[in-house]
Amino acid sequence: MIQSYLNELGQTLQRLPLEAIERLVDLLHEARLQGRQIFLLGNGGSAATASHFACDLAKNTIQPGAPSFRALSLTDNVALMTAWANDTAYDNLFCGQLGCLLRPGDIVIGISSSGNSPNVLQAMELARAQGAVTVGLTGFSGGRLKALVDLAIIVPSERMEQIEDLHLVVEHAVVTALRARAQATAGGGGATAP
């Protein structure tokens, strides 16, 4: 069973949508240079990926001479999350936080393996209405999330575990590419933000 899982994971890895992943690198690099905020969100395993992604953007892309990322995971403030969930509804968990923080041009990355998590969908609707750039990391056929985002990265799998595995692979590939871009920017290979 373990070998079968790993074989299947490797096959899915080869089918990741590279053009969409490269587009995410472009969007995030541009946001970094312009000092825009990056928000990340998700439930369960996707919440852990959102936290991991925000951590890696904020720390693992730092290069002297290049601007730092302004990245925030909306899954990390337990008091605020539970206040929104308890006082209103769980579906408001992320849009409640975004409503206070989001500015036009910011990037909101929603992570939902099914693409159908109501609180992620609601956050994306709010983000679009407020002029943010929206990105969805999903799996299966993309769910409803795919139609609500400017950029959908869909892991081509029907297995929840493998979708979550490969979301983290995508995250690490993106951060590695952004670190290389920062090195080029700091070395004079591109424009820097003021």
Q: What is the pTM of this model?
A: 0.94
Nearby residues of 3 by Cβ (< 8 Å), 6 or more positions away: none
> Of 52, 187, 110, which is closest to residue 179 (Cα–Cα)?
187
Mean pLDDT of 36-45: 98
Q: Which domains occur in the chain, in start order?
A: 2-188 (3.40.50.10490)
Tell me: the pLDDT tens digits for 117-153?
999 999 999 999 999 999 999 999 999 999 999 999 9
What confidence tens digit (pLDDT) does each residue in 50-87 have?
Answer: 999 999 999 999 999 999 999 999 999 999 999 999 99
Residue 57 near residue 178, CB atoms below 8 Å = yes
Supply angle C-alpha 167, 134, 82, rounded to 5. 75
Is residue 186 pLDDT above 80, yes or no?
A: no
Backbone angles phi, psi at 154, to 5 degrees: -110, 115
